Amino acid sequence: MTITKQINQCTVRLEIGDITDFEVEAFVFYATEDLKLGAGFGNAITMRGGLAVQKALDEMDGAKVEDVLVTEAGMMKAKHIIHAVGPKFQEENIETKLANTVRNVLTTASDKGFKQIAFPAMGAGFYGIPLPNCAKIMLDNISSYLAKNSHFEEIIIRVLDKREYTPFVSEFEQLH
Amino acid sequence: MGKPRSHKAEKVLERLEKKLNRQIVMSLAACVHCGNCSSSCHYVLANPDDPTYQPSYKADQLRKLFKRHVDWTGRVIPWFVKAKSIYTDEELEELKDVVFGKCTNCRRCSINCPMGVDHATFNRMARGLLVSVGVMPEGVAVVSKDQWEIGNQMGVLKEDYLDTLEWMEEELQEELDIPDIKIPVDKMDCDVVYSINPREVKYDPRTIAEAAKIFHFAGENWTMPSEGWDMTNFGLFSGDDDLGGAVGRRLYEKTEELRGKKLVISECGHGYRSTRCEAPNWGKIDVPFVMESSVDTMLRYIKERKIKVDKNKNTERVTFHDSCNNARSCGLFEEPRELLNLVVTDFQEMYPNRTENYCCTGGGGAMSMSEYTPNRLKSAKIKAEQLKATGAKYVVTSCHNCVDGLTDLIKHYELDMKVTQLVNLVANALVIPEKVKEPEVEKVEVPVEAEAPAEAGDLAGRKILVVDDEPDILTFFSTVLEDNGATVIQASDGDEAIEKVRQEKPDLVTLDLNMPGKDGGQVFEFIRKDEELAETPVCIVTGRPELRRLIYDRPVPPPEGYLDKPVDEETLLRNVRKILAVG
Which CATH number goes with the domain that contains B111? 1.10.1060
Q: Does B7 touch chain A (CB under 8 A)?
A: yes
Q: Which of B145, B226, B252 to mutate to test the interface with A (most CBs of A within 10 A)?
A: B145
Tell me, yes or no, whether B564 and B468 share the same domain.
Answer: yes
Tell me, yes or no, whether B24 and B51 share the same domain.
Answer: yes
User: Which SS3 state, helix, strand or coil, does residue B394 take?
Assistant: strand
The answer to whether the CB of B176 falls within 8 A of the CB of B436 is yes
Around Cβ B412, how many Cβ atoms within 10 Å? 17
Q: What is the mean pLDDT of residues A14-24?
A: 97
Written as tens digits, the pLDDT of chain B (583 aa) is 678 999 999 999 999 999 999 989 999 999 998 989 999 999 999 999 999 999 999 999 999 999 999 999 999 999 999 999 999 999 999 999 999 999 999 999 999 999 999 999 989 999 999 999 999 999 999 999 999 999 999 999 999 999 999 999 999 999 999 999 999 999 999 999 999 999 999 999 999 999 999 999 999 999 999 999 999 999 999 999 999 999 999 999 999 999 999 999 999 999 999 999 999 999 999 999 999 999 999 999 999 999 999 999 999 999 999 999 999 999 999 999 999 999 999 999 999 999 999 999 997 889 999 999 999 999 999 999 999 999 999 999 999 999 999 999 999 999 999 999 999 999 999 999 865 444 443 333 333 333 445 666 788 889 999 999 888 888 889 989 998 989 999 998 888 899 999 899 999 999 988 887 788 888 888 898 888 888 899 988 887 665 666 676 677 777 888 787 778 888 888 888 888 888 6
Tell me, yes or no, whether B188 and B291 share the same domain.
Answer: yes
Question: What is the model's pLDDT at position B44?
Answer: 96
Q: Does A166 touch chain B (CB under 8 A)?
A: no
**Domain of B126, in residue numbers:** 7-136
Domain boundary among B451, B480, B510: B451
Q: Is there a domain that residue B30 lies in? A: yes
Look up residue B236 and give its amino acid. L
Q: Is there a domain that residue B163 lies in? A: no
Question: What is the model's pLDDT at position B445?
Answer: 33
| Cα separation, A49 vs A20, whole angstroms | 9
- How many Å lie between the alpha carbon of B146 and the closest alpha carbon of chain A? 4
Tell me how far CA of residue B76 lies from CA of B26, B359, B560, in angstroms.
19, 40, 70
Q: Which of B13, B146, B149 to mutate to test the interface with A (most CBs of A within 10 A)?
A: B149
Question: What is the model's pLDDT at position B455?
Answer: 65
Cβ-nearest to B144 among A48, A91, A126: A126
Cβ-nearest to B7 among A92, A126, A160: A92
Q: Does B505 touch chain A (CB under 8 A)?
A: no
Q: Is there a domain that residue B502 lies in? A: yes
Q: Is the ipTM of this complex over 0.95?
A: yes
Q: What residues of A are in contact with residue B154 (Cβ under 8 Å)?
A: none
- Best CA proximity match to B216, nearest among B426, B28, B19: B426
How many domains is chain B built from? Answer: 3
User: Which SS3 state, helix, strand or coil, does residue B466 take?
Assistant: strand
- How many Å lie between the alpha carbon of A149 and the closest alpha carbon of chain B? 31
Residue of B nearest to A74 (CA): B555
Tell me, yes or no, whether B442 and B470 share the same domain.
Answer: no
Residue of B nearest to A90 (CA): B133
Question: What is the model's pLDDT at position B448?
Answer: 32
Question: What is the model's pLDDT at position B24?
Answer: 92
| Cα separation, B358 vs B380, whole angstroms | 9
Question: What is the model's pLDDT at position B451?
Answer: 41
- Best CA proximity match to A123, nearest among A100, A93, A89: A89
Does A162 contact B253 at a Cβ distance shorter than 8 Å?
yes
Tell me how far CA of residue B426 lies from CA of B95, B296, B304, B530, in angstroms.
44, 12, 15, 44
Domain boundary among B403, B419, B451: B451
Cβ-nearest to B146 among A39, A160, A163: A39
Partnered with residue B396 across adjacent β-strands are B320, B420
Partnered with residue A157 across adjacent β-strands are A14, A119
Tell me, yes or no, whether B199 and B83 share the same domain.
Answer: no
Does A126 contact B157 at a Cβ distance shorter than 8 Å?
no
Question: What is the model's pLDDT at position B298?
Answer: 98
Q: Is there a domain that residue B24 lies in? A: yes
Q: What residues of A are in contact with residue B243 (Cβ under 8 Å)?
A: 125-126
Tell me, yes or no, whether B128 and B264 share the same domain.
Answer: no
Tell me, yes or no, whether B127 and B17 share the same domain.
Answer: yes
Question: What is the model's pLDDT at position A174?
Answer: 87
The answer to whether the CB of B489 falls within 8 A of the CB of B545 is no
Question: What is the model's pLDDT at position B454?
Answer: 60
Question: What is the model's pLDDT at position B574?
Answer: 84
Q: What residues of A are in contact with residue B146 (Cβ under 8 Å)?
A: 39-40, 43
The answer to whether the CB of A31 falls within 8 A of the CB of A58 is no
Which CATH number goes with the domain that contains B571? 3.40.50.2300
Question: What is the model's pLDDT at position B546?
Answer: 57
Does B7 contact A91 at a Cβ distance shorter than 8 Å?
yes
Helix and strand counts by DSSP (H, E) for chain B: 30, 12
Question: What is the model's pLDDT at position B452?
Answer: 42
Tell me, yes or no, whether B424 and B471 share the same domain.
Answer: no
Q: 3-class secondary structure for chain A?
A: CEEEEEECCEEEEEEECCCCCCCCCEEEEEECCCCCCCCCHHHHHHHHHCCHHHHHHHCCCCCCCCCEEEEECCCCCCCEEEEEECCCCCCCCHHHHHHHHHHHHHHHHHHCCCCEEEECCCCCHHHCCCHHHHHHHHHHHHHHHHHHCCCCCEEEEEECCHHHHHHHHHHHHCCC
What sign for the dihedral angle of Cα B61, B62, B65, B71? Answer: negative
Does A90 contact B8 at a Cβ distance shorter than 8 Å?
yes
Tell me, yes or no, whether B261 and B393 share the same domain.
Answer: yes
Does A41 contact B8 at a Cβ distance shorter than 8 Å?
no
A2-173 belongs to which homologous superfamily? Answer: Leucine Aminopeptidase, subunit E, domain 1 (3.40.220.10)
Question: What is the model's pLDDT at position B117?
Answer: 94
Q: Does A96 touch chain B (CB under 8 A)?
A: no
Tell me, yes or no, whether B127 and B191 share the same domain.
Answer: no
User: Which SS3 state, helix, strand or coil, does residue B193 take?
Assistant: strand
Q: Is there a domain that residue B456 lies in? A: no
Q: Is there a domain that residue B350 lies in? A: yes
Does B142 contact A91 at a Cβ distance shorter than 8 Å?
no
Tell me, yes or no, whether B417 and B478 share the same domain.
Answer: no
In this prediction the pTM is 0.82
Tell me, yes or no, whether B103 and B192 share the same domain.
Answer: no
Q: Does B149 touch chain A (CB under 8 A)?
A: yes
Does B145 contact A128 at a Cβ distance shorter than 8 Å?
no
Size of chain A, expressed as the number of residues it contains: 176
| Cα separation, B113 vs B56, whole angstroms | 10
| Cα separation, B22 vs B62, whole angstroms | 16
| Cα separation, B37 vs B31, whole angstroms | 10
Q: Higher-confidence residue: B521 or A28? A: A28
Q: Specify the pairing of strand A80-85 against strand A68-72.
A: antiparallel
Look up residue B75 and give its amino acid. R
| Cα separation, B476 vs A103, whole angstroms | 64
Does A88 contact B145 at a Cβ distance shorter than 8 Å?
no
